Chain A
Amino acid sequence: MEFSRNQVIDFFMGRQQNFHSGKAVFTIDLAQDSPTRAHFYQQLVGKSVPQVNAYWARLLFTGNATPPKMLPSPAAVLSAVKENADAIGYVDGRDYDGCCKVVYRLKPAD
């Protein structure tokens, strides 16, 4: 099972909080200062880290949106996804160890 780019955006930007099955989506983010994170958001939605932070800061005030849970390292992300079936996270392709299912591959060209 793979997701479209828009689906991925919707998951990570808090629009889509549930899967089609009805289960809540558990999104996992990398640490605040991680270069992979900056790269990921730049590639996915074309925004810088401060822009994405501001977006979430605004949504936090409304109270009905939860930003993705931040984990310190790609290894932590992979293990968390491995442990939770509803979890979705992202790592640099070089950090991928094959333990998780890849639902979307963010190409540099995209």
Chain B
Amino acid sequence: MITFKKLSVRITLVISFFALLVAGVGSAVSYTDTLRQERNKAYARIMELAKTVEKSAQIAAYLDNQEIADDVIGGLMNNEVVAGVLLKSQSGWHSTNDHKPLNDALGEAPLALDLDSPFSPGEKVGVLQIFPKHDVIERNAKLIARNQALLLSSYTLIVALIIMLAIQQIFVGTIKTVASTLNRIDPSGTKRLHCPLSHRKDEIGHLIADINFLLDISHFRIHSERELREQLEKLEQRFRLLFENASVGICVLNEHGDVILHNPVCREVLRLDAAPEGPARVEQFFKDARQINRIVFDTLTAGELTNGEFELATTDDLDGPRWAQCLFSKARVSETSEFEGSAFVQMIVIDITERKIEELQTRFKAERDPLTKLFNRNGLETRLNLMRDLALQEACGFAIFLMDLDNFKPINDNYGHEAGDTVLIAVAERLLACFRANDILVRLGGDEFLAALICKPAINQADLSRIAQKTIQLLPQDIPLNQGRNANIGVSIGICASGPEHAHLSIAQLIDHADKAMYQVKLAGKNDFCISVPSPMRRDQLTS
């Protein structure tokens, strides 16, 4: 189907329309005009015809001469447009082409030529009447008029066709070529429209020049944009190298503590993927959320660097505890940046779980007795001081149990060190069962053990007695050795129960008290306990 939107079709339609209009109106006007002219011409020709035979007709009328009249009439009748001729003389004589009266037969008004006497001009001797064949005249006139109209129409149409072809060739053809070339041109390329020589100086030439100019501009723009994009890409790649591929976790927090930007390492360390949808608050990834919140707030307000090791929140039970070293710093926001007026905290996160675990293991080894896994003497005083400080802070009681095994030496001597070790391990297990998880259990060395605990809300001798009672019941029970033998030991327990009123006493003094109490037990007969409460702070000591 031809589309009416095509330029060539539209031009063709417009020209065709006007050509047909001109041809139609023109041929109609021409037809009526030519018809009238041809009709007049035909009657004028008849009159001319009459004039050529006038002389003979005059003689015929003058003499009433039949022969000459016949001559005249016959000559006139040869003409195809003459239907009849009547030659009348003044005397009343007349002659016709078929010797009959014609007026009735032909009816219509004849063309008349008055005949003067050939010898006396002005003296009328008769009249020559010619009856034209109106239908033949009409037909001929119509034929000519029609041919004329047809000629005009075809002339108009031919001219229109030539114009159309010329427009098609010169204008539409060129436009088409230009359009299809333009369609194939890549604006980023260097290819340009070619202007035909014949159009170099006309409007098409100007149009092509303008299009080429626009293409140049867009070529330039596209290239500079491309360069800019490449630069940006390079920049982005560098940024990625720096940020995405960093071996440390990097993230940016806004003033509310939401993680708004992070790199893959950060995501991995903080387990961001496991976080619920929505803004990820940074504190949720740490075990001590309040501490992190405080650090973020401090960093934002004081703008100081904060570095520390923090235990991370555990995301599932299979996972052991994890630690991260974090460096918090306030981000400097450039004045021209879109973030102007906002405050950000940069956080660098490094997973230190492995190191931390190693560290803990090392510490464990250093602090623990390898045989019983109880604490050893290392750091004993520090540990006990910490516990006692805690007890004093809350005004609770603090008790130290000093325990020495009875009859252990013979086992070691008789059954060997292996048996001694077995006994010590069993004792440690039983002690763990007697004391609470938060209590401190230490193997001081050999067969001497120490336990420290906080009594809430204050020293309660009954509680301490119950624990001691349980211990002296549990430890003497048979300890199976190899070869079906059993070890049988006892325990002497000296207990020093202190409270806030003994704050002046050092840990060593408290231990000394317990030692003394234990010694009394040993003297009294072993496998028993003794609770010793040091004398409270004297008044003069309080005031000093």
Residues on A lying within 8 angstroms of B by beta carbon are: 6, 9, 13-15, 44-47, 55, 58-59, 61-65
Contacts and interface: CB of A to CB of B under 8 A. Distances in A.
B65 A62 contact: yes
Contacts of A63: 67
B339 interface: no
A59 B63 contact: yes
14 contacts: A6-B120, A6-B123, A14-B63, A15-B62, A45-B118, A47-B119, A55-B118, A58-B68, A59-B63, A59-B65, A59-B68, A61-B67, A62-B65, A62-B67
Contacts, number: 36
A28 to B, nearest CB: 19
Contact of B119 (A46, A59, A61, A65): A46
B59 interface: yes
Contacts of B68: 58-59, 62
B120 A15 contact: no
B65 A9 contact: no
Most buried by A among B62, B119, B120: B119
A61 B67 CA distance: 9
Given A6-B123, A55-B59, 16 more contacts: A6-B120, A9-B120, A13-B119, A14-B63, A45-B118, A45-B119, A45-B120, A47-B119, A55-B118, A59-B59, A59-B65, A62-B65, A62-B66, A64-B65, A64-B66, A65-B63
Contacts of A46: 119
Contacts of B62: 13, 15
A62 B60 CA distance: 11
A58 B43 CA distance: 29
Contacts of B66: 62, 64
B67 A15 contact: no
Contact of B65 (A44, A45, A47, A65): A65
B67 A64 contact: yes
B123 to A, nearest CB: 8
A102 to B, nearest CB: 21
B120 A58 contact: no
Contacts of B59: 55, 58-59
A77 B170 CA distance: 95
Interface string B86-122: 0000000000000000000000000000000011100
Interface string B199-237: 000000000000000000000000000000000000000
Contacts of B65: 59, 62, 64-65
Nearest to B65: A62
A15 B118 CA distance: 12
Nearest to B123: A6
A54 B329 CA distance: 146
A12 B123 CA distance: 17
A13 B61 CA distance: 13
A98 to B, nearest CB: 29
A44 B117 CA distance: 13
Nearest to B60: A62
Nearest to A14: B63
Contacts of A59: 59, 63, 65, 68
Most buried by B among A55, A59, A62, A64: A62
